[in-house]
Amino acid sequence: MTSTADSTSGPRVAVVIVAAGSGTRLGADVPKAFVTLAGQSLLERSLHAVRGMRHAADPVVVVPADRMDEARRLGFEIFGRLIDVLPGGGTRQRSVQEGLSLLDDGTEVILVHDAARALTPSALFDRVVEAVVEGGHGIVPGLPVSDTIKRVGGDGEVHETVDRSQLAAVQTPQGFPAAQLLAAYAAAETEETDDAGLVAAAGHAVTVIPGDAHAFKITTPWDLRRAEELLAGASLPRVGFGTDTHGFDASAELWVAGLYWPGEPGLAGHSDGDVVAHAIVDALLSAAGLGDIGTIFGTGDPRLAGAHGSVFLEETRRLVEEAGFRIGNVSVQLVGNRPRFSTRRREAEDTLASVLGAPVTVSATTTDGLGFTGRGEGLAAFATALVVPGR
């Protein structure tokens, strides 16, 4: 597997997405991971969740053999590159083992996620990664069991009431140090219902952290209806906030709000340093729940060296719309002593609006000589974005 994770900013993370189930209990005429939920398949939604992680992660997808081409297409559309896809085995455990076989030696943390938990937020993936790194052992998200649990016999007779304070309903993604999970699978002699069971059987600790109510498993038609109702209830507009800061660099050209400002010192940065464009990107990604600019546009990408703000804005618009949103409007405030922005405000707003396909307002202010912007050392920008569900 070829990794795209930036090892300088965190652990090398891989996510094995198990999507090879038949979905018999769901009653669909396609494999469960390819069942459509509000316009997107369960697999597609799971891939978006991985794409939205703050920690860069390499996905490996295990699907039915006759769905490999479709999974590759989805992966390319979401990640902008080919991802690893392979056919599943006869059981979930065998499918995960197939996925693990593609990981390279540099992988440090492995998450295993069921595509059927299609509404799992990206934030839960990140929390699992962080807990694995901090604890050095397996991490499983889970929720307290609220129902009274009875242990019953084959004839239906109640034998005892189980103490639910000691129970948790576990979810995915389940995360592990790579060496522990790989060793547990290599030594496995029995089938376990989840990866944590294998790791625990191998003698390693596994800890439960708080899960998320949205990470429930879609198994039956009732589960699918529940997911549809949740998405319908999430049809309200969403707001995101973003900020960016760059110091002046006299050797560079100044690009701000998508415009070139001749005769002004430029801004330092891997790209053109357009603080207004970058703040907008962060605000839009935040509103759509897709992560942040550092996650999506890494500074290690040579293709972005010197890239103008429009490149970032165009790609961000595409990601936001792919995630099922449209941009409502954006508001930005530029902070600094120069350039004199008011003379080109309307030009800047029109330029940004044409890229985003939505109204953009830009204001500018100074800080009365206070701080680095007041001393003329650089510029800052703060943006708020509104996105609305529905393409």
Is 48 annotated in a binding site? The answer is: no
pLDDT of residue 285: 93
**Shared domain check, 118 and 47:** yes
Domain membership of residue 93 (yes or no) is: yes
Closest C-alpha among 210, 202, 35, 183 to residue 124: 210
Q: In terms of residue numbers, what domain contains 166?
A: 13-233
Domain membership of residue 181 (yes or no) is: yes
CATH number of the domain bearing residue 60 = 3.90.550.10
Pair 79, 54: CB distance under 8 Å: no
Is 368 annotated in a binding site? The answer is: yes
Q: What is the biggest distance separating any 2 CA atoms in the chain, rounded to whole angstroms?
A: 86
Is 293 annotated in a binding site? The answer is: yes
The amino acid occupying position 22 is S
Is 367 annotated in a binding site? The answer is: yes
Domain end point (choices 203, 233, 263) = 233
Domain membership of residue 3 (yes or no) is: no
Domain membership of residue 53 (yes or no) is: yes
**Shared domain check, 380 and 247:** yes
Distance, C-alpha 291 to centroid of its chain:
6
Distance, C-alpha 74 to centroid of its chain:
15
**Shared domain check, 247 and 222:** no
Is 294 annotated in a binding site? The answer is: yes
Domain membership of residue 7 (yes or no) is: no
Domain membership of residue 4 (yes or no) is: no
Domain membership of residue 6 (yes or no) is: no
**Shared domain check, 182 and 37:** yes
**Shared domain check, 269 and 198:** no
Q: What are the pLDDT tens digits along the chain (391 aa)?
A: 545 544 345 799 999 999 998 777 777 778 899 999 888 999 999 999 998 888 889 999 999 999 999 999 999 988 889 999 999 888 999 999 999 999 988 999 999 999 999 999 888 999 999 999 999 999 999 999 888 888 898 888 888 898 888 889 999 999 999 999 999 999 998 888 899 999 999 999 999 999 998 999 999 999 999 998 887 766 678 899 999 999 998 888 899 998 999 999 988 877 788 999 999 999 999 998 888 887 777 665 666 666 788 888 998 998 888 887 889 999 999 999 989 998 999 999 999 998 998 899 999 999 888 988 889 898 999 999 999 876 4
Is 375 annotated in a binding site? The answer is: yes
**How many domains does one find in the chain?**
2
Domain membership of residue 8 (yes or no) is: no
Is 292 annotated in a binding site? The answer is: yes
The pTM of the whole model exceeds 0.75? no
Domain end point (choices 181, 199, 233) = 233
Beta strand segments in the chain, E: 13-18, 36-37, 40-41, 57-63, 84-87, 109-114, 138-144, 149-152, 158-162, 168-170, 174-177, 206-210, 238-249, 255-256, 259-260, 266-267, 325-335, 360-365, 378-389
Distance between CA 99 and CA 112 in Å, rounded?
Answer: 9
Distance between CA 215 and CA 372 in Å, rounded?
Answer: 44
**pLDDT tens digit string along 185-198?**
999 988 888 999 99
CATH number of the domain bearing residue 290 = 3.30.1330.50
**Shared domain check, 146 and 132:** yes
Is 372 annotated in a binding site? The answer is: yes
Is 238 annotated in a binding site? The answer is: no
Is 245 annotated in a binding site? The answer is: yes
Is 366 annotated in a binding site? The answer is: yes
Is 79 annotated in a binding site? The answer is: no
